[in-house]
């Protein structure tokens, strides 16, 4: 059974979208909580080693084909594992040692803007006009507002944390664009499962190089809960929902989930950790969202006027 068959009604698409935003938004809070007990690269590596094995098992049951074939498929696994899993999460986790999960979520929400820019630079079918350039500038301005280099002081811990989260978003976006010409009929769940396993291996190598030791992990209820949540819920379950939504509505509309995540992360930080997001982060998020709307204005306009009667056509889209 194809994943898109799970989303056969407009209501199920909306529920899946909201659930994905909640799972991925709260993952930033779970990372922040877990980093008190795990070294960052080991934390990310363990999460994706376990999640990758589970996703590959699900892919084998759902599609029957899990082993990549040929140069493009293995190269696709390498790109996704290196950029989307290892580089993105490694930089994000280290960045969250210095900034809150809510602020990290706002910075990472720049990823769709960066993806559009990289696509225009690297793919012949894409281009940037004056409006798109303005949208990119707005997104970068949003990150600068969040970092607040004049107020925080160049070299401050928070500024470094924002820079690392931004670098993570760059890695994710570049990987997403480099992956486009390499897509084949390899099931996306299999691709993601292999990428998770490879990315976990690279994260373990990075942990060893930076002197992280499993002996430094503090196992307690919070540590176990955060790791289990990130692995099983915001890892395995969220990625399966993501695959289904990708089949149902396509990548342009699915990008919108990135702008619900910071809202969820801010609410989760307040409810679970008692921390409030600062005004600079809110202003930065508004600027990043405006940049995204400028870059994706045509795709969004094409769907804004659709009512419920048009949704079946969207659900059938690949």
Distance of CA 234 to the CA centre of its chain: 10
**pLDDT tens-digit profile of 183-194?**
778 888 888 899
The C-alpha atoms of residue 290 and residue 285 are separated, in whole angstroms, by: 9
The region of weakest confidence among 31-35, 243-247, 257-261, 295-299 is: 295-299
The C-alpha atoms of residue 130 and residue 147 are separated, in whole angstroms, by: 26
Is the pLDDT confidence value at 3 over 60? no
What's the predicted TM-score (pTM) here? 0.82
At 99, phi and psi to the nearest 5? Answer: -135, 165
**pLDDT tens-digit profile of 71-109?**
889 999 999 999 999 999 999 999 999 988 888 888 887
Is the pLDDT confidence value at 151 over 60? no
Is the pLDDT confidence value at 41 over 80? yes
pLDDT at 316: 35
The region of weakest confidence among 57-61, 154-158, 169-173 is: 154-158
Mean pLDDT value across residues 133-159: 65
At 209, phi and psi to the nearest 5? Answer: -65, -35
């Amino acid at each position: 059974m194809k994943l898109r068959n799970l989303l056969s009604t407009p209501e199920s698409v909306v529920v899946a979208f909201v659930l994905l935003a909640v799972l991925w938004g709260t993952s930033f809070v779970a990372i922040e909580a877990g980093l008190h007990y795990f070294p960052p690269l080991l934390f990310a590596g363990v999460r994706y080693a376990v999640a990758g094995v589970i996703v590959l098992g699900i892919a084998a049951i759902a599609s029957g084909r899990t082993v990549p074939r040929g140069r493009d498929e293995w190269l696709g696994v390498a790109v996704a594992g290196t950029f989307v899993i290892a580089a993105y999460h490694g930089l994000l986790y280290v960045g969250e040692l210095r900034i809150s999960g809510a602020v990290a979520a706002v910075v990472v929400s720049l990823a769709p803007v960066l993806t559009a820019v990289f696509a225009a630079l690297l793919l012949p079918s894409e281009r940037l006009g004056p409006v798109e350039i303005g949208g990119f500038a707005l997104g970068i301005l949003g990150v600068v507002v969040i970092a607040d280099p004049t107020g925080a002081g160049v070299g401050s811990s928070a500024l470094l944390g924002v820079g690392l989260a931004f670098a993570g978003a760059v890695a994710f976006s570049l990987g997403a664009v480099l992956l486009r010409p390499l897509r084949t009929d390899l099931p996306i769940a299999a691709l993601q499962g292999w990428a998770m396993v490879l990315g976990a291996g690279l994260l373990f190598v990075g942990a060893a190089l930076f002197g992280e030791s499993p002996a430094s992990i503090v196992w307690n209820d919070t540590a176990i809960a955060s790791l289990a949540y990130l692995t099983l819920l915001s890892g395995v379950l969220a990625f399966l929902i993501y695959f289904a939504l990708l089949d149902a509505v396509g990548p342009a509309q699915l990008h919108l989930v990135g702008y619900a995540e910071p809202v969820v992360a801010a609410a989760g930080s307040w409810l679970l950790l008692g921390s409030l997001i600062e005004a600079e982060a809110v202003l930065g998020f508004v600027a990043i969202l405006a940049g995204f709307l400028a870059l994706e204005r045509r795709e969004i306009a094409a769907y804004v006027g659709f009512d419920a009667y048009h949704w079946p056509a969207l659900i059938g889209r690949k």
